[in-house]
Structure 1
């Protein structure tokens, strides 16, 4: 279980998120919504212990700030939008990096079992034929699947998704989220994700929190959070009416 109490964090002494309280059980998918600048990515980076914080973040009663980097990597994995690649690694080499938390040293040679784990996860995302190819030669959708395989190989208890579907076409957006959500459910993992597409949130989330100015102003199941007046207030647009109008247009096409 992940327990967050009275959490605040930010940059240069200024809190971006304030007084966040959450309790998330294993096997649960929680998605975070809100307008740009409301603190969504800051919250994920704080849970990943990338940013110093005030308050408490505990995984199974262990404060994350007390964990060394390897143990933290076994508990928490972050997957974000990949817009540009700067290192010439092969698919196999990139996915192998996911096993670093379980190695004895940075240059530790993978055992046969470890290599099988890497290959199994490359196969799981449908990239075996590209395993020896440089990731700089792949399409955006393929690159995201490489990093998804790396996340699977890392096998953390908590998976943080920071807008991982941006710049992907609809097919790859749905595929990527189906991959990670199905895997997480089967392995009893926790997912905490940030998405802009409220349709995807509605479809994949077990629960949703809505942030405004760094604070949680709505928390619950997707039906309740995405149906309230607060949604209109936060986004300054009647999203529900807009979505219904779009649906009606699709029905005319059908």
Structure 2
């Protein structure tokens, strides 16, 4: 279980995240939604212990700030939004970095089990045929899948994803979310993902956390948190009415 209690964090002594509380059980997907700048990415970084925090972030009862970096890499994998690339690695080499936490040294050759996991991770996201290409030659959507494969290869208990469907076409968005859901359900894992598309949230999420101004607005099942007027207040528009009008155009 992932437990977040009374969590506060931010940058340069300025609090961005304020008193966040939620629990995610193994086998569940949690989606975090909210307007731009509400603290979604900051929350993920604090869960990964990249940012110092006040309060508690626990995995199976262990505080993440008290777990050494190598062991934490076996517990939590974070896939952030793609920024500029500085290293001309092949796809295979990039995905293989996910096995670092399991190696016995920086220059130790990968085991046959490592190789099997790396290949399986690439096949999961449909990039195996790109394994020998340099990542600097890839499109944004292909890169997104490479970094997801690296997280799969890491095989953590919890995957944290910051807008994982960004840069992906519709087909690959659905495939990515289905791969994640299979991984969670078949391996008793946890995914915490930031998503902007509320239709994809409805499709994928077991639980939803709505943030605004760094504060928790609502947390629960998608059908519960989306049923009232919360979304309209958070996004300052009539979300359901907009969705219904769009669907009518497909009729």
Judge same fold: TM > 0.5, yes or no: yes
Q: For the Cα contact (< 8 Å) 1:227–1:240, is it kept in 2?
A: no
Q: CA RMSD in A?
A: 1.3
Shift of 1:210: 0.5
The CA deviation string for residues 62-111 of structure 1, in whole angstroms up to 9 with x for no partner, is 11001111111100001122254321111110111000011112222212
1:16 aligns with 2:47: no
Map of 1:117 onto structure 2: 117
Map of 2:77 onto structure 1: 77
CA distance in 2, matches of 1:28, 1:85: 32
The CA deviation string for residues 106-137 of structure 1, in whole angstroms up to 9 with x for no partner, is 22221222122212222232222221111122
Alignment partner of 1:85: what SS? coil
Shift of 1:178: 1.6
Q: For the Cα contact (< 8 Å) 2:159–2:192, is it kept in 1?
A: yes
Map of 1:232 onto structure 2: 232
Alignment partner of 1:96: what SS? helix
* More moved, 168-177 vs 27-36: 168-177
| Aligned residue runs from structure 1 range 151-162, under 5 A | 151-162=151-162
The CA deviation string for residues 27-66 of structure 1, in whole angstroms up to 9 with x for no partner, is 0101011111111111100000000000011111111001
Shift of 1:174: 1.7
1:204 aligns with 2:204: yes
CA distance in 2, matches of 1:73, 1:102: 9
CA distance in 2, matches of 1:125, 1:141: 11
Structure 2 unmatched ranges of 5 or more: none
| Aligned residue runs from structure 1 range 51-130, under 5 A | 51-130=51-130
CA distance in 1, matches of 2:194, 2:85: 22
Q: For the Cα contact (< 8 Å) 1:76–1:157, is it kept in 2?
A: yes
The CA deviation string for residues 176-222 of structure 1, in whole angstroms up to 9 with x for no partner, is 22222221221111111101110100110011011111111111111
CA distance in 1, matches of 2:161, 2:116: 25
CA distance in 1, matches of 2:20, 2:149: 31
Map of 1:144 onto structure 2: 144
Map of 1:245 onto structure 2: 245
Alignment partner of 1:37: what SS? coil
Q: For the Cα contact (< 8 Å) 2:163–2:195, is it kept in 1?
A: yes
TM-score (structure 2 length as normaliser): 0.96
1:2 aligns with 2:26: no
TM-score (structure 1 length as normaliser): 0.95
Q: For the Cα contact (< 8 Å) 2:144–2:167, is it kept in 1?
A: no
Alignment partner of 2:110: what SS? coil
* More moved, 115-124 vs 153-162: 115-124
Alignment partner of 1:71: what SS? helix
